Amino acid sequence: MKTPEDPAAGRPPTLVGEAAELADQNAALKAALPRLRLPPKRKGAVRLPPKREGPLLPRLENRVCRCPYCGERVPWPPAELKCPACGKTLRPPPGFGPGDREERRAAKEKIVEARDQALRKMGRRAGVGDSNRGALVVVAAFLLLVGLALVSASRHAVDLSRGGRTQYEWTTNAVDTMCMALEHFRIDVGRYPTHQEGGLLALRNDVGAPNWCGPYVKKLMNDGWNRPFFYDCSNGVPIFLSAGADRTFLTGDDIVARPEQFRPHPDFVPHDPARPAVPHATSVGIGRPGPAAASPAENDLP
């Protein structure tokens, strides 16, 4: 028959002795615990220290202070708040203040109370915070209304400038107009504007190209989403397109100019030197009335 194994068997004798000592200490503490006298629980409300009455900072008159610069003992307050030994300006030590601090605070409280009484007599709410808060709310509401009015007015102005057309219709019309202006530039100069000349800026500004008789547009237009067009010309082939509604190029909604859109207007006069001097009726420099025909009477003159 097997006997139960001793848990202390196989352990070093030092560990066994330490475990026995700890067990004896725990037993002694448990035996002494009921005899400990704990302080009685406090009954009733907690008593707070009495409030301090009188000045917040003690006064310093007729007291001797030490100068922090030269160590000279000086009766407070010194003349002009300067040390008579070194001549440096002295400040009150921490925890002390001037003698008229309480008087000045009491005077401020009287002024505030008089103001509140005057506001109550006028039927207004007393207190600076409430009046300021109400004024801020009124100003914020006014600014919000002004902002909404400006946004709506700007949108209405954009709609009026487009003539009631949608963004897509405005963009397709602008693409056709700009392509026509590029073709007029090519007819006069012999090529399309290059990147070194500023691209589309050459339609509006004279870049020194030979036979330039612009401007070919009154202003450079944006697409219906108020984004600039993309223009490039490589190997004499122009590329003109709009980013579309997503305002991102090389996507499915891009509006690309077709080759047949680069055509001149029927009324366009190539190499017309009088074109810069006469304002154009349209944005592409066409529609200018031609020279008046001579009357038959003038033809009969010698």
Residue ranges of the chain with per-residue pLDDT less than 50? 1-2, 4, 278-302
284, β-bridge pairs: none
Residue 50 confidence (pLDDT): 66
Residue 57 confidence (pLDDT): 53
Which domains are seen in the chain, by residue range? 167-261 (3.30.700.10)
Condensed to tens digits (0 to 9), the pLDDT of residues 44-55 reads 666 666 665 555
Other CB atoms within a 10 A radius of the CB of residue 94 amount to 6
Rounded to two decimals, the pTM is 0.43
Residue 14 confidence (pLDDT): 57
- Contacts by 27-32 with C-beta closer than 8 Å and gap 24+? none
